[in-house]
Structures are given as C-alpha cells and as structure tokens.
Chain A
C-alpha cells in the first residue's frame, strides 16, 4: 500500500495518473496552508487562495486547475469532475496573480458528503496554448492535459463538506 497521501486519498486514480512531483505548489487560504487531506469549511474557502508556484525558469509556464472529483456526491459522482478554477500562463517562481484566469474561481459549496478539492499544477509546452472548456461539470483533468499537451508536476487537495457537516465518521479505535 502506497504511503503517498495523494494515492491513499485516491487523487491519483480518480483524477490523475502517477507522476513525479517536480515543482513546488503552495496554496494558502487566509494564511492557512493546504496540505493533503486537511479540512476546510466552505466559509474558509469562499475567496480564491494565494497560489505560489515553484520551478526555476521564468520562461516556463504553468496551468493551475482546481477540480472537485466528488461532485455532487462522493458515492455518486455524476458531475465528476467539477471545474472550480482555471488559471493559465503562470510563470515559474511566481504566483497565480501573474496568470490568466480562464475560468473564474467558484467557491466550493458541497451539499452531500465530504468532497476532495484538488489543485493540479500542469506544465505547458508554451505560452498561450491552453483554452477554457465549455462547461465546468464533467471536466476531465486527464483529457484536458492530453488535449493541450500538459504535464502534471504538482498536486494537492483538501477535504470540504457542508458548513453544518458532522465531520465524517468517528473511529472507535479498531480501524
């Protein structure tokens, strides 16, 4: 069993194929860092986060994708994946403000279940080579990457449930 949180959380599997992390990706909502599997309430993720991108060459451009693979319900994700945010042409070593927002940030509002909200950083072949999809729902990161010749270089995710959510299952200690 892989120890990698992305694999355990099935982000690699549902959203992405295995890849090697080559660029750092930092996502901050009101100065709280997103680490894999951390919990955020909808009220905490209303506004778009600060996204810092690593890399070394300012001439390399990245696309940031934020998807919900558990829309509308984790046990029946008929809208999988739902595209919440799409920014392209982010130069390496900068942040998302330097990119072009193709699909504006839509704050997560899950109604049922606990959703994974996944950020994927993809390296572009060149500048201005990526275009927005027609719809937000039934987006496929894999298909998108193939279509525009993108390579995934970083990913992170957090869990989000409705504001009044119970917090998920309690474990009695025998799990």
Chain B
C-alpha cells in the first residue's frame, strides 16, 4: 500500500506540475484498495502516528497534512493515545484543536472532483500552511500544483485535519530511511502492542490485588467484631455463672 501511494506522490510531485487533483490521485476504489494494506488497517494507523511523532522529532520542517483516518473504528488504538501523540505533534507548528481525526478513508477516496475544496485550498493561505515535502513555497495559495492536488482531497470540507499518513510516510521515506520503512514500522508497531498489553496486565494486576485487599479487610473486620461479641457474651456468661467468686463462703460447719 505504502509504496504505491509513495509512487503516486513521487509521481505527482515530480512529474505532474499543475495537474488537477483528480489525476494526481488514484481513483477512489483503487485508492481504497491501496490504502488498505495487506496488514490490518490499524497497523497503518499506528505506523502513521509513529511516523508523525518520529518525523516531527527528527525533522524541523512542518509537515502537517490532513489526516486521512483509516480506521476510526479500530478497537486497538485508544483515542487517548492518539490524542496524546497528536497533541505532542501539534504542539508546535499548528494549533489545530481537534484531537481525534475525523472521517474515515473516504476522505482520501472522496472524488476530488468537487471544486469547493480546491477553491478553499487555493484561496486560503492558512489552510495551506501545511507543508508537504518540506517545501514552504508550495504551501501558499499561488502554487496549486502537486501539493494542492495532493492535499486537496483530504482537505475537502474540513481544514482542520491531523497529518496525512500518506504525506508523512512518503516524507519520512524520502528522508532516506536506510532500512525498509515498513519493516521498522512493523517492529515498532509490535513493540507498541506489546507495551500496551503489558500496561493492561499491570493495571489488572494492581486492580485485582486492591480488590483482594478490600475483601480481606472487610472479612477481617467482620470476624473481628464477631469475635469481640462472642468474647463479651462469654464474659457475661461467666460472670453470671459465678456471681460471688471472691466472697468468703461457708463450706462446712464445725460441730463445736
């Protein structure tokens, strides 16, 4: 999936200067199919977010592009995690308030034939502060070229989008990642999943022990009060049985 997207971008950025957005993008169906890698959707999502944080850390260029959210329904990705990563990422360059990326892959696959987004794109400088491939100049409205064509479908209808996985991925890979990007992403992804599970187990462990202690305390308190009551009862029973223990009693009478 990624390589093909990459090719698209390379192609779009290098070869097609001012082509319309529609031509720069594959058709919705093929995009969908290419966006869905052999691996599950959520892995792509994780790769994206990793790439976002890694690229933002390592590269100074602003690389925010609209986020194409492939799996809003992914059970594995916790929104808070994404939010945290996103907020870190957005802390600097952008002040986008949205933590949760909206709309699904249909954003990417939405036919770029709608003119409004393009118009918005071209006319609004703020929307184009997003810079792809680290080139500042292209971000401006004047250049509707490959960047616009690239970004526009994702931009359509909503300016506020987290970074696009496509752009970031190609950006990162353009930065000469020495090993196969998807392999390293896989490793990181696996590590992240493992860490999540470990964290969940840790929480479960803590919760289980806490509950156990609470139950123990309740039991012990109950036993304690029960024993005290029993003790009291026994004491009073003893006292009732021997009322005058210490009193001197006549035990036998001498005949004289």
Contact = CB atoms under 8 A, between A and B. Distances in A.
Of B204, B206, B209, B213, the most chain A CB neighbours within 10 A belong to B209
A35 interface: yes
Contact of A35 (B201, B203, B216): B216
A49 interface: no
A5 B208 contact: yes
Interface in A6-39: 6, 8-10, 35-38
B207 to A, nearest CB: 5
B114 interface: no
A5 B209 contact: yes
Contact of B197 (A3, A75, A171): A75
Interface residues of B, number: 18
A113 B212 CA distance: 22
Contacts of A35: 212-213, 216
Interface in A119-175: 159, 168-169, 171, 175
A67 B197 CA distance: 21
Given A35-B216, A75-B194, A75-B197, A4 B211 contact: yes
A83 interface: no
A25 to B, nearest CB: 14
Residue picked from A8, A74, A168, A169, most chain B C-beta under 10 Å: A8
Contacts of B207: 8
A154 to B, nearest CB: 14
Interface in B47-61: none
Q: Is the interface of A mostly helix, strand, loop or mixed?
A: loop
Interface residues of A, number: 20
B192 interface: no
A64 interface: no
Nearest to B201: A74
A171 B205 CA distance: 12
Contacts of B158: none
A8 B208 contact: yes
B194 to A, nearest CB: 5
A74 B212 contact: no
Contacts of A3: 211
A168 B205 contact: yes
Given A5-B209, A10-B201, 14 more contacts: A4-B211, A5-B215, A8-B208, A9-B204, A35-B213, A36-B208, A36-B209, A74-B201, A114-B202, A159-B209, A168-B202, A169-B199, A169-B202, A175-B203
Interface of A: 3-6, 8-10, 35-38, 74-75, 113-114, 159, 168-169, 171, 175
16 contacts: A3-B211, A5-B209, A5-B215, A8-B204, A9-B205, A9-B208, A9-B209, A36-B208, A38-B209, A38-B212, A75-B194, A75-B198, A114-B201, A114-B205, A168-B202, A169-B202
